[in-house]
Amino acid sequence: MSIGQKLKDARKKAGLSQEQLAEKLCVSRQAITKWESDKGIPDIENIQNISKLFGVSIDSLLNDGDEMSANVIKESINLDDYHAEGKFKSKLHVVVKSKYPDADSIFPLVRRKNLSLVEKVVDFVVMPGVLHTADSLNDLTSYYLVESQGKQYLVNVTKEFIESRELVRRFTGRSQIIGKDYFTKALYADLVTKGR
């Protein structure tokens, strides 16, 4: 499903007209019409605002594949309630471990945008690595691959929330493309050792 169709469905589900949505996003009604008809896409700031307004992840808005299920569990957290210690050098690691205490494995992931051919050419011509750097600065969150009870979850942790989405296609090997991103398991070991 295209981002335009997702936006239209979310707007209708919320009972908003195009004019009302445009007002909430501080854009014109014509911009909403353009986005919903897939004749244009919102910029990153508007995508972030749409995500917050409708309570959906940015990944689910941008992803037109079927690697992840539609079921998203998004919970608010207070990062100050968690304390890093021992193997869990980051509070974000502790958040994931506390959410999945019986997980078979938890791997930190490194996320990079999976560039299209045009983006790769632009990146090479402008300055190699500049698009990845810009994308990384726009997404300062942490990602994890969690395996629990035979299911795999892509988990995203920020300072405000933890979001889990079940993977439909299993993550195998060290790296994999999921949606519009390329994920690689971090070089350090699994955060969980079974039997502990």
pLDDT in tens, 150-164: 889 999 898 888 989
d(CA 186, CA 144): 9
Residue 196 confidence (pLDDT): 40
Q: Is the pLDDT higher at 155 or at 84?
A: 155
Based on the structure, what is the number of domains in the chain? 2
The reported pLDDT for the residue numbered 70 is: 53
Contacts of 135 (CB under 8 A, 6+ apart): 112, 113
Return d(Cα 126, Cα 117) in angstroms, integer: 14
Q: How far is CA 159 from CA 64, 80, 134, 149, 170, in A?
A: 27, 9, 20, 27, 27
pLDDT band per the 50, 70, 90 thresholds, residue 18: very high
Is there a domain that residue 144 lies in?
A: yes
The Cα angle at residue 156 between residues 165 and 39, in degrees rounded to 5: 75
Average pLDDT over residues 97-104: 90
Is the pTM here over 0.85, yes or no?
Answer: no
**Structural domain contains residue 193:** no
**Domain containing residue 175:** 68-185
pLDDT of residue 1: 64
Q: Collect contacts of 169-174 with beta carbons under 8 A, ≥24 apart.
A: 169/66, 169/67, 171/145
For residue 61, is it within any domain?
Answer: no
Q: What is the CATH number of the domain that holds 30?
A: 1.10.260.40
φ, ψ of residue 145 to 5 degrees: the values are -105, 115
Q: Is residue 106 part of a domain?
A: yes
Confidence of residue 194 (pLDDT cuts 50, 70, 90): very low
Which region, left, alpha or beta, applies to residue 86 given φ > 0 means left and ψ of -120 to 50 means alpha?
Answer: left
Instruction: Give me the pLDDT at residue 25, please.
Output: 93
pLDDT at 44: 86
pLDDT at residue 195 is higher than 50: no
| pLDDT of 30 | 95
**pLDDT for 146:** 92
Query: Is residue 115 a part of any domain in this protein?
Result: yes
Lowest-pLDDT range of 29-38, 94-103, 105-114: 105-114
Which residues is 164 bridged to in the sheet? 73, 155
